[in-house]
Structure 1
Amino acid sequence: MSEKVIADFVARFTLDTFDTPEPVRGRIVLSKKRLVMATDDSKTTIPLTAIFDVNVGHVPGDLESFFQDTITIAYRDGDARRTAVVEAGSEEVSRFKTVLFKAELTGSKAKVKHPARVGGRVTDATFRPAKLRIAPGTVRFEGPGSMTVELANVTYFQKEERESEQVIVLRHAEEGQSVTSEFTLQSERKLNLLGRYLRLEYSELAREVEDVELSEDAMEALVAIYSGATSGDLAGMLGLDSSQVTMVLNDLTDEGLIEEGQKGVSLTAQGQLVVSDRIESVNT
């Protein structure tokens, strides 16, 4: 490959063009133009422009017995629809997912309406041109309609038809309030991939916090930190003494919802998602 390689690792994989569904061990190489899957005996090249869906964890039924942590890639080969399933460690699958979506989507031309709504109020915003940027945990649209969405703050998204055009409607928390943004891409294939990326990232975060149970004091502390409060502010805001605040902060740290950094205590992505759900429930 003459172009720059952005991922190169060894894993087990299978393609539906193989004579048997049993996976083989080989090399996975990704550039900004193509995905190459090679063994000692064969090499399959998939142009990125041929990929129309990417999924994590879902394996076609006849392959379930062969795989554990997987990424499934659906692509077009002429008039045929093909699938490739790659198995690797969970961290490797997660990294590969991000770089694959980044290669597919970063730099795509988009149109953004932000904010389309603030709470329940419709704004007079119009669609403006932008370019899409993908990074772990975020989606950014750069241009006159610039905006960055922290995926942990997303509370709702849906694809809708607007005047014969597919638009993604996305509701997220921004500066303590519920904001709705709308965007579309020039390519319907890329818009479908962006929708898949949003679903995968959101579902992963949601799974991590679905079993978290918090006291009212702990939830109020999370919301206060989200709004900019420091740990020193919490005693007065919550009506607790310092030892009680310490216990609340320790519980939130143990749950993976806050972390201590150079600028003091802050929410993790999981903490932001919990607060976003709280804000959404208050605003609806």
Structure 2
Amino acid sequence: MSDGEHALVDTKGKFVQVVSDGRKRNDIEWLPGRILLSNKRLVLATNDGKRTIPLSKVSSVTASQMNQPLAQVDSYIKVQAGRNVTLISAKKADEFQEKLYSTLLDQTVVLVNHPAVKGGVVQDGGWEKGRLKLDGDCINLAIASGTFVELDIDDVGTVEAKEKTIRGDERPLLEVEHTIEGTSVETHITGTPRHVSLIEGLVRQGEQRNIADDVDLSDKETQVLMALYSGISPFKIPEFVDMEIEEVEDVYDRLMESDILEPVRTRREVQLEARGRSIASDAMADQ
């Protein structure tokens, strides 16, 4: 290894290059081999040779579950470097993915607006510099003003990716919905196209786990969801939606059975799961 380079992960697995120099390959065949990750490069080695991917060239990493054409593996990550795309299925999948994202993103400086939205209401905050660090399934953002934002990937409800004029320049923007102390908030993040793309690949995993499937909710259940999403205390919901306490508690029970709410304390304090926030957000958009 070169000066300053050190190994992070050494595992076995399978890999295949599906796009070469911008062209899709038809002869897709998973190759078994050794997967080595250092702080500078990713090496995929077989008995016939090895291929090296400099981490500085990696512009996108996304995780995927098994689909029919690629059914030889349970899951894989897609790594794009320049005009080449490689699928990698590592035996130590969680460790490999965590180390790869950390190496690519740790100490990255981005612009952050937090909270840009709180309880469905747009806030007056502005853009500040923030330094990003990964800690397991959490994205930690240390904001220049002293604020510390902990974004739990499993808590991500929705992610919107768009282009927007920020500080006079057209920039890629991520709008990430999650919770702070039980209240739905949006943290907005912008930076270089490469950094935003890498962060998007990470937070999309949480969104996919919590995606709002079609759920048949009654009008009363929808009212309760939207009230909670707006930041109304669970104890004030009956008065807010003009329902009896017992009726609201029945709604809570049904929503907890559907994994839309989770109990916080024994006597009917609840908060929205990420899936519930996604459903509530969709319901409010339809109003």
TM-score w.r.t. length of structure 2:
0.68
Shift of 1:109: 1.0
CA contact (8 A) 1:137 1:201 kept: no
Deviation at 1:257, TM superposition (A): 1.8
1:178–1:222 CA distance, 2 compared to 1 (3 A): closer
- 2:75 aligned partner: 69
1:13 Cα deviation (Å)? Answer: 1.2
Matched with 1:112 is: 112
Match of 1:212 in 2: 215
The separation in 1 between residues aligned to 2:193 and 2:27, in whole angstroms, is 33
- How much is the aligned-residue C-alpha RMSD, in angstroms? 4.4
Where does residue 47 of structure 1 map in the other structure?
Answer: 54
Counterparts of 1:66 and 1:29, CA distance in 2: 21
Say whether the 8 Å CA contact 1:173–1:276 is kept in structure 2: no
The offset of 1:250, in angstroms, is: 3.8
DSSP 3-state at the match of 1:270: helix
The letter of the residue matching 1:269 is: A
**Which letter maps to 1:28?**
I
CA distance in structure 1 between the partners assigned to 2:48 and 2:77 by the alignment: 23
Aligned residues, how many?
A: 267
Cα separation, partners in 2 of 1:256 and 1:8, compared to 1, 3 Å: farther
Q: 2:80 & 2:36 partners in 1: Cα distance?
A: 17
Residue of structure 2 equivalent to 1:159: 163
Q: How far does the alpha carbon of each residue in 1:161-193 deviate from its partner, in whole angstroms, 9 at most, with x for none?
A: 5434524152747779987655432x4322232
**What amino acid is the match of 1:72?**
K
TM-score of the superposition, structure 1-length normalised?
0.68
Which amino acid letter does the alignment assign opposite residue 193 of structure 1? L
Instruction: Tell me the amino acid that sits aligned with residue 160 of structure 1.
Output: K
Alignment of 1:11 with 2:13, yes or no, is: yes
Per the alignment, residue 254 of structure 1 pairs with 257
Contiguous gaps of at least 5 residues in structure 1? none
CA deviation map 1:218-276 (0-9, x unaligned): 3344455554745x77667663464x556534432332222345686443222232233
Structure 2: unaligned runs, 5 residues or longer? none
Which is richer in helix?
1
Which residue in the other structure is 2:87 paired with? Answer: 85
Q: Is the CA contact 1:155–1:277 (under 8 Å) kept in the aligned structure 2?
A: no
Is 2:199 the partner of 1:194? Answer: yes
Paired-residue identity, %: 22
Give the superposition deviation at 1:34. 2.8
SS of equivalent residue, structure 1 residue 22: coil
